[in-house]
Each structure stands twice: as structure tokens, then as C-alpha cells.
Amino acid sequence: MTQLLQLEDRFQARIDAEQKIEPKDWMPDAYRKTLIRQISQHAHSEIVGMLPEGNWITRAPSLRRKVALLAKVQDEAGHGLYLYAAAETLGVSRDQMYEELHAGKAKYSSIFNYPTLSWADIGAVGWLVDGAAIMNQVPLCKCSFGPYARAMVRVCKEESFHQRQGFEIMMTLAHGTPAQHKMAQESLNRWWWPSMMMFGPNDDASPHSAQSMRWKIKRYSNDDLRQKFVDVMAEQAAVLGLTIPDPDMHWNADRGHYDFGTIDWKEFDEILRGNGPCNKERLDARNKAWNDGAWVREAATAFAAKRKSATA
């Protein structure tokens, strides 16, 4: 008992001293579990996140846009891999994580359960969704768990191109013909509130946050990050000449921040419960890809075994 307390104290002291925790170091069970949950959910989000954008690859309006979108979606696959690998260092297997995702037991970011209805949505996703992801991810580069932090450094390096390509699409449409401008505005209208939800529940409704902050997995609260997002996006929307669909959004000189309206958390909860517009479609697509790939995995294993016995 006392030995466990001693280990926990020493662990927390290392965290407080900004030392990194590595996979083979002693760690509390709850720290391990929290990280496995968070990193695997993050990995699933990268993988499922390829689906709404993959939807437009064949219909990109130019070759330039197409190669950019292909490269972005390919990056997201890489992000998924870095993150799965980081989670595996904690003792969970890749197959276990896949099984949970495919069985609908694992969570991933609610944002990817919305459909991409027009080409402008690819712009909005890059600008807003990758923008929100970057804001969430930059502080994770300093997360106390070494493999997660290192994976996030790579991810963040790659993300900035994602947001810029999205912004460029929005810029082109917003300053294009009136029909294109309208398309960009409608897309912003669709994606604004779901993007705001990406920072998670309000701080007073986020029970695990305090512990994650103490463990330095999390560095800023959900509401702080959301405010930062609002302040940045308000100005970027003005550059685009688009209107953020929030009548309550105003500059507040006293706070030095933009005020904004209330999020519809019922919609968020419904999506988490599996009732978003695309939850079923996303899960079906992942299951199909996994099942359709079974023969490829079997063939690769058989081929490797054959080659090995030929050289032995």
C-alpha cells in the first residue's frame, strides 16, 4: 500500500518536474488507461477523418486541388499510424484497437460524422476542422507521455499545410463568382458549430480534465482552447469576407476576446450516442475496408512465409 503511494508520489514528482514518462517506466494504472483511451480515440479520428475528404478526391475541381487533397488524406493515414504505434507502447495491440473501432465501441471525433456535401466543404474542413485540430494538438506536443508527445510533433509539422490548403480553397470560392461565394458561406454555416464542439464539453461538464491537467496530458482547458479558436477564426473569416453563423459573436474589449453564443450540446450528445448523420456510414466504411482487405493481409503473410522458407 505505502509502496504504491510512494511510487505514485515519485511519478507525480517527475511529471511536475516536466520529465517525460516512457513506456517501460512505472505509471499508475489510471494514467495508462487514460492514455490508451485518448491516443486510440485520436488515432481512430485520423483514420475515420479520411472518409469525409476521400469523398471528394475523384471530384476535385483541378489537378492542383486533387494532388493536394490526396497528399492531405495520405498524411491523415500517417497520423493514424503514428498514434496507433504510440498507444501500442502502452500494451494495447493494434488488432484490439481496430476491433473496438469496428465494433462501434470506440469513440472518435464527432466532427467526422457530418457529411461533406459540396466541394466548399473540403475548404471548410481544412480551414476549420484542421484548424481546431491544430489548436488541440499543439499543446499535446508537450504531453508528459514521450511517445505521444513525439508523435504529435510530427503530426503538427504536417498539419499546417492542411489548414492552408483549406483556407486557399475558401479564399478562392469566397472571392469567386456570387454562386461560389454562396457555396463557401453555406459551408461555413454547416461546419462552424460542429468545429466548435471539437474542443469537447464545457469545463464544468468535463470531469476527467482536472486529472489530465495534473498529469500534464492536457495543458489547457477545453474552454480556453475554444476561446482561442474563436478569436483566431473571427479574424480569418473577416479576411475571407464570410460571416460566422453566430449572432452573439462580438468583440469584447473588456475581456480582450470575442464573445460567442451557446453550443447545442444536445446535438453533440446525439452524435456521441451514434445518431449523427453519418455515424453508420463511417463505421460501415471502416468495416468494409478491413474485411475487404483480409485476403491481402493473408496473402502478404503467406508470401513472406514462402520467401522465408526459400532463403532458409
Partner 1 sequence: MNTEFPLWEVFIRSHGGLQHKHVGSLHAVDATMALENARDVYTRRQEGVSIWVVPSNAITASDPADSDAFFEPAKDKIYRHPTFYQVPDNVKHM
Q: Contact positions toward partner 1, by CB under 8 A?
A: 22, 24-26, 71, 74-75, 78, 81-82, 85, 88, 93-95, 150-151, 154, 158, 294, 297-298, 300-301, 303-304, 307-308
In angstroms, give the least distance from the CB of 133 to Fe ion.
Answer: 6
19 DSSP assignment: P
For the bound state, the minimum distance from the C-beta of residue 74 to partner 1, rounded and expressed in Å, comes to 7
| Site residues, Fe ion (CB under 5 A) | 46, 76, 79, 130, 159, 162
Distances (CA, A) of 283 to 36, 83, 99, 280, 287: 21, 19, 11, 5, 6
* Nearer residue to partner 1 within complex by CB, 81 or 141: 81
- The contacts of residue 30 (CB under 8 Å, 6+ apart) are 211
Report the alpha-carbon distance of residue 82 to residue 155 in Å, rounded: 8
Q: Quick one: what does residue 130 bind among partner 1, Fe ion, none, with the CB cut-off 5 to 8 Å set by partner type?
A: Fe ion
Tell me the H-state helices in 49-118.
50-54, 63-88, 94-102
Of Fe ion, partner 1, none, which one does residue 294 interact with (CB within 5 to 8 Å by kind)?
partner 1
Q: Do 149 and 142 contact (CB within 8 A), yes or no?
A: yes
Q: Which is nearer to partner 1, 175 or 288 (CB)?
A: 288
Least distance between partner 1 and beta carbon 43 (Å): 13
Binding partner of residue 25 among partner 1, Fe ion, none, CB under 5 to 8 Å per kind?
partner 1
Minimum gap (Å) between residue 44 Cβ and Fe ion: 12
